[in-house]
Amino acid sequence: MRFAAVAASFVLCLMPGLAVANEPPAALVTALSGSTTPAIAAMSEIASGAPLRLAPGAELSFLHYAKCKMVTVTGGTVTVTRTDFTTDGTIVAEIDAPCPRIHRLSANAAGTVSGGLVMRGLSSAPRWPVNREIVLTGEGTDKLKTVAIHAEGRLDAPLVRLNVSGRQARFPADAAPLAVNERYVLRLTIGDRAEPVDIPFVAAAPSGSSLFVVLRGP
């Protein structure tokens, strides 16, 4: 199974791995059939510059963050860097995909990363399509507890609580759509974190079924 299209990508990310020094992860595994060496799982990130050897018959699909491409390969070895990827296996598909949204955790102030640029504060809140499903990956998302959306300045009561299953958060079927161009806060409670993670955004028109979000450490 692989994602043939991704309407929006909004990724929360930081995972341990064999990353090149000072390089953030370069891609997100969206689907895997078979095994790799070193072992990797769907919805985990691919460290920049770390080769992955696919077992015979294995098929790997990944979203390349900088290229904004969804790539599927079979067999051989795949090496993904921040700017590109190489493989001696077979490229089954390479299609355009929306660039992922990346939120950077900070000890001092909220911030987001978009297209390689760091934006700080509410005034630069990114525009996110209000798709009905949010897929979360990265730091602490294996311990995701709750996901809610609040109106800006109204953190006392959420507008909607999303249904959480693993790293996926879905709007309830009867939830009213969010208003386009309005400002909201995505609030996450994760694992043993004492405080919730608040991510401000401006709602844009839905662009598909899923929105991917990645959390990075400071």
Q: Where are the beta strands (DSSP E) in 67-216?
A: 69-74, 77-80, 85-87, 90-96, 100-104, 111-114, 117-120, 127-129, 133-138, 144-151, 160-165, 168-170, 183-190, 197-204, 210-216
pTM > 0.75: yes or no: no
138 half-sphere exposure, CB direction, 13 A CA radius: 25
pLDDT digits (tens, 9 = 90+) for 54-96: 999 999 999 998 998 999 999 999 999 999 999 999 999 999 8
Q: Residue 44's closest CA among 76, 80, 77, 74?
A: 80
Torsion of CA 41, 45, 47, 48, to 10 degrees: 130
Interacting residues of 123 by C-beta distance below 8 A, sequence separation 6+: none
> Domain limits of the chain?
9-96, 113-216
pLDDT digits (tens, 9 = 90+) for 163-178: 999 888 999 999 999 9
Q: Domain 113-216 adopts which CATH fold?
A: Immunoglobulin-like (2.60.40)
